Amino acid sequence: MEQFWHEILTFCRTITQKLGHHLVAYVGQVSPTQKDDGSLVTQADHWTDQTIRAAITAKFPKHGVLTEETTHIFPGTDWCWIIDPIDGTTNFTRGIPIWGISLGLLYQGTPVFGFVHFPQLQQSFHGYWYGETGINGPEGSYSNGVKIHTGSDRPSKSHLFNLCTRSIEILRQPFPCKIRMIGVASYNISLVACGAALGGVEATPKIWDIAAVWVILRGAGGVFVSLNDDPIFPLKIGHDYGEKPFPCLVASQPELVPFFKPLVQGIVS
């Protein structure tokens, strides 16, 4: 499958760089509308979504697609892409440069490859994780082509832990790390993957927020824990994932899960 993975990585690099170059001209310049779930969407999101879907159909016609802005039903294809055309739309519309394009590739419902590109940061992450899928190929996770690993330190006030806006109630009690709030789920988790943060929590991410970075985190040695105790993957054929949240804790090492989990479990209502 060496040629297959080469084509996958080349495709993701090419399409995200092309789209990113176009999108930076619209940062802080577009007016969002509010969707039913309260999240924001812009014409830039729709254009990016359509462009990626068309490119996948042309390059990989047998692959399925699930995206934030269009199709939420998981298809019955062995291979399926899950797309977040602009992760961090609020940042994008307010001129904050932390936003990205997220592409996850699943095999029989489980992510095996992830690619996220943050155009204004000039930073891309990609990774491979095959688990029990039986797929083989490259291993590990990378930032701008350089292999990355999660951190190995113990928590302290000189280490970082990332929150989302819906998890700030955690701070009602003392927390053992410095807190950062990024505003972009994929970057939140990527920072754990590359060793910049020891952990993070997302209270209500959708499947397109986490599919790509789940692979990147796992490939870098990190741990992804569902906070509602339901396994996230494999996804179920025919299931509508449009409204389903996946509250999760991410940690740099397995031994940190019992340390962090009691502190963040309260975000699950």
| Model confidence band, residue 160 (pLDDT cutoffs 50, 70, 90) | very high
Short-list 152, 113, 153, 129, CA closest to 10 = 113
pLDDT in tens, 178-192: 999 999 999 999 999
Question: Tokens in use for 115?
Answer: 């690619």
| pLDDT given for residue 46 in this prediction | 93
pLDDT at 38: 65
Contacts of 206 (CB under 8 A, 6+ apart): 68, 241, 242, 244, 245, 246
pLDDT by residue (tens digit) across 93-122?
999 999 999 999 999 999 999 999 999 999
Q: 102: part of which helix (H) or strand (E)?
A: strand 100-107
Per-residue pLDDT tens digits for 5-61: 999 999 999 999 999 999 999 999 988 888 777 676 889 999 999 999 999 999 999
Please provide the average confidence, as pLDDT, over all residues in the chain.
Answer: 95
| Backbone conformation region of residue 122, classed left if phi is above 0, alpha if psi is from -120 to 50, else beta | left
Which pLDDT band holds residue 172 (cuts at 50, 70, 90)? Answer: confident
Report d(CA 160, CA 250) in Å as an integer: 12
**CATH number for the domain running over 2-147:** 3.30.540.10
DSSP string, 119-163: GGGTEEEEEE--TTS------EEEETTEEE----PPP-TTSEEEE
Nearest to 13 by CA among 120, 119, 147: 119
CB of 79 closer than 8 Å to CB of 133: no
Sketch the domain layout of the chain as residue ranges.
2-147, 160-267
CATH label, 160-267, candidates 3.40.190.80, 3.30.9.10, 3.10.310.10, 3.30.930.10: 3.40.190.80
